[in-house]
């Protein structure tokens, strides 16, 4: 699956910058606690940075059923540390479940969304440039090797 995503990404049409920017846009929005709208957020961010929309869609797949169990608790913990809240005790699960019963978004803001969004920011800032650099270099290297292979034919 990862090999296919890599091959598909390096073959996306566009400059290495556009593809890497699009992939990074999708990748960084995958840290947010809004799995249902990652694709829309990734496409919007890619459009803003003039990145590839196809690569952004591929980048949002970073948030998937295998990675979400790691992403959400990590953003939760980082957010609580940044907010100066105690993270040693259990999460206020009864509070969260009560809020989910009536699905009052305003009641979810402080106990759930605020720490997760705040916790996602440093993770985005750290992983975004790394993702861009790795993608940019990989795309350039792949395309140069492909040009050489085609020139030998």
Distance of alpha carbon 103 from alpha carbon 55, whole angstroms:
33
Q: Is the pLDDT of residue 145 over 60?
A: yes
Write out pLDDT tens, residues 45-58: 999 999 999 999 99
pLDDT band at 1 (very low <50, low <70, confident <90, very high): low
Burial of 9 (0-12, 13-18, 19+ CB in 10 A): buried
Greater model confidence, 102 or 29 = 29
Q: Stretch 67-82: mean pLDDT, rounded? A: 86
Q: Is the pLDDT of residue 113 over 70?
A: yes
Lowest mean pLDDT among 35-44, 45-54, 97-106: 97-106
Q: Is the pLDDT of residue 29 over 70?
A: yes
- Could you tell me the sign of the dihedral formed by the alpha carbons of 87, 88, 89, 93, in that order? positive
Distance of alpha carbon 57 from alpha carbon 39, whole angstroms:
6
Average confidence score pLDDT of the chain: 84
Q: Is the pLDDT of residue 148 over 70?
A: yes
């Amino acid at each position: 699956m990862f090999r296919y995503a890599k091959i598909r990404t390096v073959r996306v049409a566009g400059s290495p910058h556009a593809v890497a920017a699009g992939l990074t846009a999708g990748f960084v929005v995958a840290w947010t606690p809004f799995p249902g709208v990652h694709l829309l957020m990734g496409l919007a961010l890619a459009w803003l940075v003039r990145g590839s929309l196809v690569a952004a869609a591929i980048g949002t797949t970073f948030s998937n059923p295998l990675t979400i169990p790691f992403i959400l608790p990590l953003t939760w913990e980082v957010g609580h540390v940044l907010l100066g809240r105690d993270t040693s005790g259990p999460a206020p699960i009864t509070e969260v479940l009560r809020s989910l019963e009536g699905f009052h978004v305003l009641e979810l803001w402080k106990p759930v969304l605020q720490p997760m969004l705040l916790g996602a920011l440093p993770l985005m800032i750290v992983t975004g440039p790394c993702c861009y650099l790795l993608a940019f270099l990989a795309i350039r290297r792949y395309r140069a090797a492909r040009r050489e292979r085609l020139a030998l034919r």
